[in-house]
Structure 1
């Protein structure tokens, strides 16, 4: 009887049990860190594309189409795999130009329903050349 009690109280196999319980939790935490680092990176890519598109769309002879083209080129160069399904909206008026870039961040964790988005917005005055008196040349 004492041998049976001694075996029940021993620590044999405890390390294996702890390893089986702890390692999946550590892997999940590491993947969460990677996932949110990708979200952070995708936000920077979207903001960069929006700023580049604003620079192309707000010039005197620029158009909204020029801004969209520049944003697409910037996204293709930097974020083709990180920022998926991007949408680009360029609004250009006589006074203000605004660019919005939105997209979905690639998933590392196969969690159903986990959809993370990243966006970037840039806005500035539309350029127009005037004389010192304020009239157009």
Structure 2
């Protein structure tokens, strides 16, 4: 067989080349899976904090500040590292209370900035008498 032809058919080094091409793609795929799992977890943390804020802010003599404080306490316990730069907004009227919690998810993949948020809303509590009058 011709030495030039034999040299072209030689497979030496092809495994190294394949490894160099495939491993970075697999690592990026694994990092993306981890990143989106963190986004899913951060959404649950934000939703839980919003529900806790709603529960604290909607009672009869509470204020929106009570809801914000409760959300911040919940975030400090659960999501201080996962949900970076959290924002908490609580709106309380005589009829409706709404709590919104959001933030940036910690980045595993460099350059990928994803956000997570949670919202909870419900009627503001008011005491009424059996005849329907407010007390």
Report TM bin, short chain: over 0.9
The answer for unaligned runs of 5 or more in structure 1 is none
The answer for unaligned runs of 5 or more in structure 2 is none
2:71 equivalent in structure 1: 71
1:12 equivalent in structure 2: 12
Q: Distance in 2 between matches of 1:121 and 1:47?
A: 6
Matches within 5 A, 1:1-137: 2-111=2-111, 114-137=112-135
DSSP-derived class of the 2:85 partner: strand
Instruction: Extract structure 1 runs of 4+ deviating beyond 6 A.
Output: none
Give CA deviations for 1:75-105 in whole Å, capped at 9, x if unaligned: 0000000001011100000000000001000
Taking structure 1 as the reference length, the TM-score comes to 0.95
Taking structure 2 as the reference length, the TM-score comes to 0.97
| C-alpha RMSD over aligned residues | 1.0
Give CA deviations for 1:103-124 in whole Å, capped at 9, x if unaligned: 000100112xx32110000000
